[in-house]
Amino acid sequence: MLCISKCDISNYDMEVNPEVKPLSTAALHILLALAESNLHGYGIMQSVKRQSGGAYKLGPGTLYANLDRLLASGLVSEAERRLKDGDTRREYCLTASGDRGLRAEVRRLRHVVDVARTRLGKLEKDA
């Protein structure tokens, strides 16, 4: 028999906008990289590697599949930048919507961590 206590569903869970879905780990890292500066694909991969201390690495397939979704959802935009030698490079940047989405995800994750600390603290007291 399934037993659900009132502690299993918080008011926070009930207030979350159902249209706003949590970001994937890859999307979160990409948006964090773009919050620092506009970057081309390889620059994003390097930034993610650096910001995670090497613990999280994006391959090209994961990067560009996520960028396609982020572009389609309006969280990221792209532009071509002309280099000094005449070549062009596609750069990605965080949109205002992307900034709001990133901030909302950080708030959501902080809440998850707060709940985890509370629950783990209770478990440690009961042990």
CATH number for the domain that contains residue 31: 1.10.10.10
In a domain, 15, yes or no: no
- Largest Cα span, the chain: 69
User: Which domain does 58 fall in, by range?
Assistant: 22-126
What residues pair up with 78 in beta bridges, in sequence order? Answer: 92
Distance CA 108, CA 12 (A): 9
pLDDT tens for 34-61 read 999 999 999 999 999 999 999 999 999 9
Q: Is residue 1 part of a domain?
A: no
Contacts of 92 (CB under 8 A, 6+ apart): 34, 38, 39, 40, 41, 44, 67, 71, 76, 77, 78
- Is 9 a member of any domain? no
Which residues lie below 8 Å from residue 48, measured CB to CB, with a gap of 6+? Answer: 29, 30, 32, 33, 56, 57, 58
- Does 74 map to a domain? yes
Q: Is residue 3 part of a domain?
A: no
For residue 116, the tally of other CB atoms under 10 A from its CB is 10
Lowest mean per-residue pLDDT among 2-11, 56-65, 96-105, 107-116:
2-11
39 within a domain of the structure (yes/no):
yes
The helix or strand, by DSSP H or E, that contains position 69, with its residue range, turns out to be helix 60-72
Evaluate whether residue 83 is within a structural domain. Answer: yes
The number of domains in the chain is 1
> Which range, of 27-31, 98-102, 122-126, averages the lowest pLDDT?
122-126
For the ranges 22-36, 47-61, 110-124, which has the lowest average pLDDT?
A: 110-124
pLDDT, mean over the chain? 85
Q: Pick 23 or 1 by higher pLDDT.
A: 23
Does 4 fall in a domain? no
